[in-house]
Amino acid sequence: MKQHQEPPTSRAGAIWALIITSVAGFMAALDNLVVTTALPSLRKDLGGGLEELEWTVNAYTLTFAVLLMLGAALGDRFGRRRLFVTGLAIFTAASAAAAAAPGIDSLIAARAVQGAGAAIMMPLTLTLLTAAVPAARRGMAYGVWGAVNGLAVACGPLVGGGLTEHISWHWIFWLNVPLGLVLLPLARFRLKESYAPGARLDVPGTLLVSGGLFGIVYALVKTPSDGWTSTPVVVSFLAGAALLGGFVHHGIHNKAPMLPMRLFGNRAFSAINAASLLMFLGMFGSIFLLSQFLQNVSGYSPTEAGLRMLPWTGMPMIVAPLAGYLSDRIGGRPVVTAGLALQALGLALFAVVIEADVSYAAQLPALIVSGVGMALYFAPAANLVMSSVRPAEQGIASGANNALREVGGALGVAVMASVFSAQGGYESAASFADGIRPALWTGAAAVALAAIAAALLPTRKQPQPEQPEQPEQPEKPEKPAHTPARV
């Protein structure tokens, strides 16, 4: 079979790819938590009870997590740039619909469509970036990408609170529209098209994993309101687990599955995905509770609370590019392990000092340590995921990793909210402190387990053989005469 030379990557193309994918990733990650601090204003303007308000957050999380792997598979089959532009267009249009929503039901529907658009474009940001950046520079590029995405996740409550407090809640959604309109033509003309050779849609696998993730994530987002033992939660968990079990069986025995289970036989792939799930479990749940502690107990406004979390949430912008550079030099394993260990230590420090009357100065060491730890994790983690599989499998590997992160985040909020409710509550400052303390210890334990998983990564980088991607093809690619044999 004729072999194609991999097209050379230009410096300008790599820079454009880094800018476009980082900004798109920022938009998708930001909308995970941007609504949380706007909920009181949404209730005042649009009405709705507590459950409807929760679904303005959960509708996005649900569709985002469920459709991530489908988005990656569609990109591999029909063109990563094409699907990235499609997902970006859906996300931008849904953001405008959310900003103009006349009622709570229409806002929830728009948020669900937003999540679908984000699920299509988010896993493709890494594959497009990987294709544009030379292998020797990818650690630094992943560092910038990871810094921007980490900042978006952590600063969602700050951005949402600031815009809601000083302008209007509508602007937490309008913010995406000009960014999306600028990125759309840039993505179309500055990114190169690429495909996964021989990729085809796995319809049974798609249905199994989408249904399974829906059941698990739906149960997790219902847990804080309904409880772990309620009938809807238990049924959703069981149904989701059964479907995911079917997906695993399908991935083992099918000749061309969406996610080959043999990838999990690779120690690097298994370890970094386990670490990612546990990291997001501890981080999401902690940020969810600590942002409320600063407002409800310490008495700060949403903007003031967000600013005081900047030593944690803003640290990735400073440290993550350095982490990417270090991962290129010494490998990702020691960097990501150290980052997770520091993040666990930071959450433990929070749990030690947290009291109803704790001063901000007493919290500052925990904020700084947590920030450095989170920053050291993001860049090497992306690099480790993408380097643990063959180039043709990078799209689905990115989708799987992002899906596990989302499930981890939803699980973190559900588990830590349950621990908080069992030990404390919102009745008083002392009660809130009594609840958040064991929840933070839970988060610290989860991230410590993530550090152990990362320590199990291979000592040396074991890159897969660089098989060339297909060169840029016309908008309607012809079916190849010979399909590469699958091993």
φ, ψ for residue 212 (rounded to 5)?
Answer: -65, -45
Amino acid at 109: A
Distance CA 448, CA 150 (A): 19
216: closest CA among 415, 410, 439, 421?
410
Distance of CA 485 to the CA centre of its chain: 33
- pLDDT score of 461: 46
Residues 14-41 have pLDDT tens digits of 888 889 988 898 888 787 777 766 766 7
Region at 198 (left for phi over 0; alpha for psi -120 to 50; beta for the rest): left
Distance CA 445, CA 282 (A): 8
Query: For the whole prediction, is pTM greater than 0.75?
Result: no
Contacts of 427 (CB under 8 A, 6+ apart): none
- pLDDT score of 38: 72
φ, ψ for residue 402 (rounded to 5)?
Answer: -65, -40
For the chain, give the number of residues: 487
- pLDDT score of 278: 93
Distance CA 441, CA 347 (A): 7
Q: Which stretches of the chain drop beneath a pLDDT of 50? A: 1-8, 461-487
- pLDDT score of 139: 67
Distance CA 358, CA 352 (A): 11
Q: 213 and 242 in contact (C-beta within 8 Å)?
A: no
